[in-house]
Structure 1
Amino acid sequence: GSSNIELRTNFKDTADWVPSVWTGANGEASVTVPLPDNLTEWRVTAIGLSDNSQAGMATHSFRAKKDLMVRLGLPQFLVDGDRQRLTATVANDTGKDQDVTVELSATGLTLEGDGKRTLRVPAGEPQVVEINAVAGDPGTASLTATVAIAGGLNDGVKQSFPILAHGRPVLETKAGEGSATAEFPVGKSLDPKVGSLKVTLSPTLAGDLVKALDGLIDFPYGCTEQTMSRFMPSILVAGTVRDLGLPKPKNLEKLPKIVQDSLTRLSRMQHGDGGWGWWEYDESEPFMTALVLDGLDRARAQGYDVSMARPENALNWGVAFLKDKTKKADIRDRLYLIYALLRWGKGEAAQYLNAIDLKDRMEPLYEGSDEKVQRPSSADLATAALAYRQAGKDAAPLLDRLLKKAQVGEEIVTWAPEDGAWGSEPSALALTAFEAIRPNDPLLPKIVQGLMRERQGNGWSSTRDTAYSIVGITSYLNRTKELAGSSTATVIVNGQERGTITLDPSVLDDPNRTIEIPRTELGDGPVSVEIRKTGEGRCYYTFALSGLEVADPLAATATDKGLDIVRKVYKMEAQRLENGEMKLLPSKQPITEFQNGDLVRVELTINSDVPREFVMVEEPTPSSCRVNERTEIDPYEEKAWWWSRTVVRDDRLAFFARNLPKGESKITYNMRAEQAGLASALPGRVENMYDPGRWASSAETKVEVEK
């Protein structure tokens, strides 16, 4: 029966990569490669180099096959509720026609119709078996296909793919230190089966910083800032852990690879003029160049060789930028560049501090705006204080002015988010400045406590303010060596005790310090959480309640009423122009029904009431279509798009724009309809990457493809 058929489950595009092979004296070498389960033609490529610099390359192909084979045609993903036609192709290479029994079974999917059938498969003429499937709950789905000839040959294959949730993810967080109580309201629109409450505890700041690295290391995109926000905090936390004499946590075992990958990426993203922008194809700018130089210098201080990133080219760019009086930059960006150059010993940069106006004044929020903001901002003053200190100038008056902008409480000191310094960035910069200039200030512990209470989950609101927070807190930890005694904490959820956790500061990444409770066990009403701490040690906590807002269909919504995004879908059709020429153009009206093979044009229209920076548009795609767009562009093509970068994933595209102008902006991309069925393109979303609490979302789009 089919249960006795061995299933092929290990599929890879590259069977093996052997970067270094030494031949014997006869010039020959042998390499053993275990093949994955793909039945396909494989190509072996060998590149050789001799001691006297002679080079050569050779290729050889061979085929892995069986006389009876089955191959699945599956989507990259499905959305909960999608209905799609799946295929199994049966190939008969026995040399004669055969009656083949085909069995299909699935988990996470509902198959429509009988999954078992017998069909006649002529020799050398593959036959296709089709079956409709409906995606079940979010998670992982798998389809298993077996084929057999009575009393003879057989084959089997099992492949998996993700099922995405049909809804908008929702996350509510709270953080703090010590015994605490909190309550989370639960909206009626949340799916009662999806999500969880996660309670994470730590006895030391170092433990929280280690947890914060997870989100930075695993962040799915890689602009200049995100590369630095992965690289710089990782090396700083590793140095702090080492200096505190603590064991290396598991996520820092990746550190050598993080360092190598980051330096390689920075080298590739560096512009020809020596500076860096947000992405490869935009203009070099002082903030991003300063951020890289700042991080490279901190890495250099930890003993890393950063020459691969060519910092000398960036230093030359920075000095030239400051010398050029026609170059415009925000106060903070110019100050940050001066600070970074001074860290690298470019003393001539100090002279440009005198030209920066740090007098209090009101300025338009942006050019032409009636709204006024106070300058210099908290971030301006913190950066100025660091630059003044680096230049050997008196920074104390700047710290005094910075403190006047603070929100001072009995237990915490914080600074409010600002335009250009979002989330916890002002508080993080203030901590770094106070730690560098007034390390004995009695307010420092309160600044740290304030920053820790602003956490959202294991990190802060974005990669950028998380990275700056880690910079400030590692500096504080390196000086104070904060390792308090042990304690215990009891976690109570909805009145029920869920566990008592021992908090030992000598252990950084104890998995038992996290308690996760599925949404199905939390009931329908509000969720209450209580921490009862005993002992002299500290207890830093984060509560994160995740859920899924559901509706069918999902309508457009926004947290920022001055921002919206609309998606329209068109079919590309051959249309005759007035001059008689035929051209492929979008249909006159939006449509959502297509034939297999149709070319689809998607148009995103974004409206903004103000100019915005660092904008990301995440655009989910329907499982039935495949995107026909490149992520890399040819030289000089960057002028064809107003956005900076396009990233294509299996289930979505992401567009990144360094600047989004006021008014209407449009993005278009192309897909091809491939899989028959009805699929959901989940809502698109536009936001400032560093101020993710303000966003707008389009409605979902149902796309139907017919065979």
Structure 2
Amino acid sequence: PYIISMDESMMRAGIAGEPNPLTEIPVLIGYPRYVSIMTDVGGSRDPGEPPLKPSKPRRSRELTVRTKFVDTAFWEPNLLAPGGKASFDIELPGSITTQHLMLVGTTEQCEIGHKTMDVNVLQEFFIQPDLPARLVQADVVEIGASIINRTQVDKTVNLSMQATGLSVMTAPSSGIRVAAGSRKRATWKVSAMRVGMASLRFTAETESHADTAIKEIYIHPKGKPEARHHRGMIDAGRKVINFDVNRDGEEAHYAYITLVPDILHGALDGLESMLGYPHGCVEQTLSFFLPNLLVKRHLEASHRLSASLLDTISDFTVKGIVRFMNFKHHDGGWGWWESDPTSTFMTAQVVQALALASSQGYHGQPGVMDQAISLLMDRQLEDGSWKVEKGFRWDRVPGIKEMTPCIMTASITSALVRSGAMKRHEDPIKDAIEFIKTRTDTIRNDANGVARTCLLLQETDPDSILIPRLVERLLELRQGNTWEGGSALGGTMESTALAMRVLHRHDRERYGVIINEAIKEILDNRSTKGGWNTTSDTVAVIETFLELDDGSTPECSIECALNDFSKKISIDEENLEESIVNMRNISLNNHMVDGRNHLVLDVVEGKKIHYQLTELIWTTDGTAKVEQEFNVKRQHSCTASKVGDAVDVTVRVESLAGIVPFVVIEETIPAGFILEKNSTIEKIGETNMFDHHQVNQHRLLLYPKAFESLTFSYRMIAVREFLGFHPGTTVECMYAPSKGCTAPVDELKVER
């Protein structure tokens, strides 16, 4: 079993139960994110701290070049320590600061030890760059660097900065005098004219010392891009895809190619897209947690799970369990967030996920499952159903505005059955199934609901006379190659995936053509960077693809070529994780030319390989087409300020579609400012309009309760000279990403 140990600052897992007693010491060394106007880390000294002792005489000036600036310097999750002792080597990052070393050890008897200590990284003379966290194209901003002299001798410093991707407008004079045991700051004014990665090389030189720090910062395009997709199937031979690049009329143009040789790779592609999902609620956690375990179980059963892929899946699984434990409510259930009302629907989904994790050796806190299942049983009504919860709008199905008790009960019952609760709660669960059987007429026009109900009966009562009727009705609801509509959280892709699973279980030979047509339709609707429209769509597709996979990987080989770029990808059962990394979102950005481009795909071996070429294009107006579901008005207390000034921002969001749930609002802080966190958190809390928020110095993410209109405010502090744009407020429906709003940008100015 996996042993999970936690404290306020970290969580790690070790394995117990091995034949030979060993101590496993997960080791993490790193530093917390620095909170100050200086955005880099390290180099600070307490007032009155004496200079470093003189170093040994140098034979000649030594140049140190520092390029590695990372938060986590070293991480070893599986350090074996026979007898309780172990040694390890660490290459420290280039930041001159105090690193925090943290060790956690567990034994097979579940004994846990914990130790922290500091490691001081010292250098007597160095340069510390100060860059904004984010740059947007056309920003004119001040960047800085501090020269730190910890010797006992005054230094005359020659300072230089070379930039690639930025235009340097002003630079400090050379020959800067820095007193012993002190620091001095120099500044440059730069213009971010070109989208892409900018590299900056800062060098400080004296007669006896020299230090170089190389930093990179990405320059983002303005606004949101327009996405263009080229999709299709290559049966064999060569495919040429033509697309055009117009450097004069475009601010930026990116292109990616993804290849999917079979449905297993389609499932893995969907899983990859979920791992970095930006939202952090319980449902989003479930959306990467559950598919992870399903993939692991499927690959283990077909003997295709490699050690490296197992490590990746285990890492995300343990993180998910810890997040579930942190979000658990006092009554033993879960909501969408840690402090909102407990949701019967969400509690059932978490129970199902934790049960699957436990069956594969990943355990959370003792008693959690029993407590949650008891809560679900207590909330069951006398007729066997569960009450529909506020906020579940089933409005993707014509004529159906609210989630029906039949669907609510089917979703909870299915989760309980899969969690193994039938053994201890057989009668209440049978009552729920009987309730569903008598209410199928309420969902006859809802393909999603029909499919969910049929899947439940196929698992619990495979001889039910209702199954053929539901299958027949499902076929009647088919439109083209898909099943339209969706659920409260998913859309057409979710409904189609569920229907495919029903037909596959009922008669895979008879419905093989329909299933294959639906697979092609699903792959043709892959989203820009992987997965499908919503997290629920993606989870349904992954689970269906895994169930349809026959356990073998077809060998294939594909060659891609574009101008000066060429790449050959080969796939077999031995390199699944390597091929999924190499086949998804292959960047073509640095290989495109102005005008017509010809991407050539040659299938050397294999057939029926799906491809998707995605273009992301930022035009001069910086706007992308979305369904405008909101009105957003933003006001600044001033648009011209001085360094040190506070700028208050007020945002009002109005829904054009009545009360809406499941929305995320994002505010990005421009390069000349930082967000004043404490007052912002206080103001957000006072509104009582938000279930959750994520606040750092450079971004504000808000997850409001269901609303028709809301107003919030925050404060920015001007920290550097700046002339540029405040990126527009973004509002997005979490389960309908095409619906949202991006407000116009605002021009701001900061002077000294």
| TM-score bracket for this pair, using the shorter chain length | 0.7 to 0.9
* Residue aligning to 2:54: none
Pairing 1:629–2:677 present = yes
For residues 338 and 492 of structure 1, the distance between their equivalents in structure 2, rounded to whole angstroms, comes to: 51
Letter matched to residue 518 of structure 1: N
Pairing 1:351–2:431 present = yes
Pairing 1:336–2:411 present = yes
Identity within the alignment, %: 22
**TM-score, scaled to structure 1:** 0.80
Contact kept? 1:567, 1:605, Cα under 8 Å: yes
* Residue aligning to 2:257: 199
Contact kept? 2:667, 2:700, Cα under 8 Å: yes
For residues 77 and 290 of structure 2, the distance between their equivalents in structure 1, rounded to whole angstroms, comes to: 28
For residues 72 and 243 of structure 1, the distance between their equivalents in structure 2, rounded to whole angstroms, comes to: 52
Change (3 A) 1:541 1:89: closer
Shift of 1:567: 2.3
Pairing 1:693–2:738 present = yes
Pairing 1:287–2:287 present = no
* Residue aligning to 2:695: 648
- Aligned positions of 1:249-288 closer than 5 A: 253-288=311-346
Pairing 1:521–2:610 present = no
- Helix, strand or coil at the partner of 2:290: helix
Contact kept? 2:693, 2:700, Cα under 8 Å: yes
Shift of 1:261: 0.9
* Residue aligning to 1:619: 667
Contact kept? 2:631, 2:656, Cα under 8 Å: no
Contact kept? 2:104, 2:115, Cα under 8 Å: yes
- Helix, strand or coil at the partner of 1:323: coil
Pairing 1:171–2:227 present = yes
For residues 58 and 465 of structure 1, the distance between their equivalents in structure 2, rounded to whole angstroms, comes to: 44
- Helix, strand or coil at the partner of 2:180: coil
* Residue aligning to 1:402: 474
Contact kept? 1:76, 1:162, Cα under 8 Å: no
For residues 39 and 396 of structure 1, the distance between their equivalents in structure 2, rounded to whole angstroms, comes to: 70
Contact kept? 1:618, 1:654, Cα under 8 Å: yes
* Residue aligning to 1:461: 533
Contact kept? 1:602, 1:668, Cα under 8 Å: yes
For residues 701 and 634 of structure 2, the distance between their equivalents in structure 1, rounded to whole angstroms, comes to: 14
- Aligned positions of 1:77-88 closer than 5 A: 77-88=134-145
- Aligned positions of 1:579-618 closer than 5 A: 591-610=638-657, 611-618=659-666
Shift of 1:660: 3.2
- Aligned positions of 1:366-377 closer than 5 A: 377=446
Pairing 1:448–2:519 present = yes
For residues 222 and 347 of structure 2, the distance between their equivalents in structure 1, rounded to whole angstroms, comes to: 40
Q: Which moved more, 1:513-522 or 1:165-174?
A: 513-522
Match 1:547 to one of 614, 617, 623: 617
For residues 57 and 502 of structure 1, the distance between their equivalents in structure 2, rounded to whole angstroms, comes to: 45
* Residue aligning to 1:223: 281
Letter matched to residue 675 of structure 1: R
Letter matched to residue 444 of structure 1: I
- Helix, strand or coil at the partner of 1:75: coil
Pairing 1:387–2:456 present = yes
Pairing 1:559–2:621 present = no
- Helix, strand or coil at the partner of 2:415: helix
Contact kept? 1:192, 1:524, Cα under 8 Å: no
Shift of 1:194: 2.9
Contact kept? 1:189, 1:549, Cα under 8 Å: no
- Helix, strand or coil at the partner of 1:90: strand
Letter matched to residue 613 of structure 2: F
For residues 660 and 41 of structure 1, the distance between their equivalents in structure 2, rounded to whole angstroms, comes to: 44
Letter matched to residue 726 of structure 2: A
Contact kept? 2:629, 2:739, Cα under 8 Å: no
For residues 541 and 741 of structure 2, the distance between their equivalents in structure 1, rounded to whole angstroms, comes to: 27
Q: Which 5+ residue runs of structure 1 have no aligned equivalent?
A: 362-373, 571-590
Contact kept? 1:69, 1:155, Cα under 8 Å: yes
Number of positions where the alignment pairs a residue of Structure 1 with one of Structure 2: 657
* Residue aligning to 1:213: 271
Q: Which moved more, 1:327-336 or 1:436-445?
A: 436-445
Shift of 1:16: 5.4
Contact kept? 2:679, 2:715, Cα under 8 Å: no
Deviations 1:658-691 (A, max 9, x none): x4323x2223223222122123222222121121
Deviations 1:461-516 (A, max 9, x none): 12221111111111121xx44655x567787989x998887776775443665665
Shift of 1:706: 1.8
Q: Quote the RMSD (CA, aligned, Å).
A: 4.3
For residues 166 and 196 of structure 1, the distance between their equivalents in structure 2, rounded to whole angstroms, comes to: 14
Change (3 A) 1:309 1:381: farther
Letter matched to residue 97 of structure 1: D
- Helix, strand or coil at the partner of 2:471: helix
- Helix, strand or coil at the partner of 1:168: coil
- Helix, strand or coil at the partner of 2:674: strand
Letter matched to residue 156 of structure 1: T
Shift of 1:698: 0.4
Pairing 1:318–2:376 present = yes
Q: Which 5+ residue runs of structure 2 have no aligned equivalent?
A: 1-59, 390-402
Shift of 1:692: 0.9
* Residue aligning to 2:93: 36
Deviations 1:90-145 (A, max 9, x none): 23333343322222222222222346600222334422212111124233223322
Contact kept? 2:642, 2:750, Cα under 8 Å: yes
Pairing 1:667–2:712 present = yes
Shift of 1:311: 2.3
* Residue aligning to 1:474: 546
Deviations 1:315-340 (A, max 9, x none): 12222222388943332333201221
Change (3 A) 1:342 1:194: same
Deviations 1:620-644 (A, max 9, x none): 220111123379989xx97853122
Q: Which moved more, 1:516-525 or 1:315-324?
A: 516-525
Shift of 1:203: 2.6
Deviations 1:409-434 (A, max 9, x none): xxx34434466532411112222333
Letter matched to residue 643 of structure 2: N
For residues 595 and 177 of structure 2, the distance between their equivalents in structure 1, rounded to whole angstroms, comes to: 54
